[in-house]
Amino acid sequence: MRQFIPVAAPAIFVLLWSSAFIAAKFGLEHVEPLTFMASRFGLVTAIFVAIALITGARWPRSIRGVFDIAVVGFCLHAVYLSSIFIAIHSGMPSALVALITGLQPVLTAVASGLFLGEPPTRRQWLGCFVGFAGMVLVLSDRMSVDGVSLTGLGLSILALVSISVGTLYQKRYATEMNLITGSAIQCATAFLVTLTGAALFESMVLVPAPAFIGAYLWLSLVVSLGAYSLLMTLIKNGQATKVASLFYLVPPTAAVMAYLAFGEEISPVAGIGILVTTIGVALVVFPQRHRR
C-alpha cells in the first residue's frame, strides 16, 4: 500500500487538477472570477484553520516562515488561478491560455538548473520538448486568434510566470512547512488578495444556481484540499522539474473530460498529441535504469 500511494499520487493529481477547468466553466457562467476565487478561498481557509486547531498542527515559528509560505500562496493561488479565470472570463480562448501556461515545465526546468542546482538530464530535456510538442498537437485544432487581446495574453503569461515562481520558491524556501497550517496561510493570503480585487473591480454577486454550487464545492473541497495538498507533497518529495512535467498532462486530460462533460470532440491529431504528451512526461518523471 505504501508503494502504491507514491505511484498513484501523480495520476490522481493530474485528474483532480484537470477537473478544475471543467468545474470553472460551469461556475463562471454564474459569478465573476475574483468573487468566485474569494468565496472559494474563504471556505478553504476556514476548513484548514479548523483542522489545524483540532489536530494541533504546528504553525511557523518565525515571521520569515509565515512570509515564505504566504509568497507561495500568493503565486500558486491568488495570481495563477485568478489570472486564468479572468483571462477566460474576458474572452481569451481557453486553448490558448492552456498552451501558454503549459510552457511551465520548460520554464521550471531551466530555472531549476539556474537557481536550485537541479539541472535537467538530457533525457529530461527530451521529455520536456516531446511533452510540449504533444501538447501543441492536442491544442492546435482548437487554437484561434479571434478575441485574443493584449490583456488576455498578458494575464496568461502572468499565470505562467507565477506558477513557475511559486513552484521554485516552495521547493527552495518552504519545503519544511506543515501541510495543514501552511495551506491555511496560503489560502488566507489568496483570500485577502482576491477579496480585495473583487471589492474593487466586481459586483460581488453570487447566483446560487445548481451549476455554481456544484462547481464551488468541487473546486473548494476536492481541488483546493485534495489536488493542492498533493501538489505540495509532490514538490516537497520530488525534483521541481519532475513535478512541473505533470502539468503537461493537464491540457490533454482536460480535453478528454470536456468531451465527456460537454461533448467536445477529440480529433485524431489531438489523440496523437495525448499519446506523445504521455511519452514526454514518462521520459521526465520515471527514472532511467542504469545497466550494471
Provide the domain limits for residue 44: 4-285
Between residues 28 and 100, the one the model is more confident about: 28
- 3-state secondary structure labels for all residues of 237-248: HCCHHHHHHHHH
What does the pLDDT read at residue 4? 46
pLDDT tier at 2 (50, 70, 90 boundaries)?
A: very low
Residue 137 domain flag: yes
Query: Quick one: average pLDDT of 164-172?
Result: 88
pLDDT at 156 over 80: yes
Residue 245 domain flag: yes
What does the pLDDT read at residue 143? 65
Please report, for residues 104, 121, 199, 226, 240, the alpha-carbon distance to residue 124 in angstroms, rounded to integers and kept in the order given.
Answer: 14, 5, 44, 27, 12
What does the pLDDT read at residue 161? 93
What does the pLDDT read at residue 49? 96
What does the pLDDT read at residue 288? 60
Predicted confidence (pLDDT) per residue in 31-89, tens digit: 999 999 999 999 999 999 999 999 999 999 999 999 999 999 999 999 999 998 998 78
Pick from 258, 256, 268, 281: nearest CA to 140: 268
At residue 258, the 3 state secondary structure works out as: helix
pLDDT tier at 148 (50, 70, 90 boundaries)?
A: low
Residue 252 domain flag: yes
Residue 193 domain flag: yes
Query: Quick one: average pLDDT of 254-259?
Result: 82
What does the pLDDT read at residue 40? 93
Helices (H), the chain: 4-27, 33-55, 63-73, 80-89, 94-101, 104-115, 122-140, 150-173, 179-201, 210-217, 228-237, 240-245, 250-262, 268-285
Residue 292 domain flag: no
Please give the mean pLDDT across all residues of the chain: 83
Number of domains in the chain: 1
pTM score, whole prediction: 0.81
What is the residue type of 140? S
Residue 108 domain flag: yes
What does the pLDDT read at residue 292? 44
Residue 17 domain flag: yes
Buried b (16+ CB within 10 A) or exposed e, 24-58: bbbbbebbbbbbbbbbbbbbbbebbbebbeeeebe
Residue 291 domain flag: no
What does the pLDDT read at residue 95? 66
Between residues 140 and 73, the one the model is more confident about: 73
Question: 10 CB contacts (<8 Å, ≥6 apart)?
Answer: 234, 246, 285
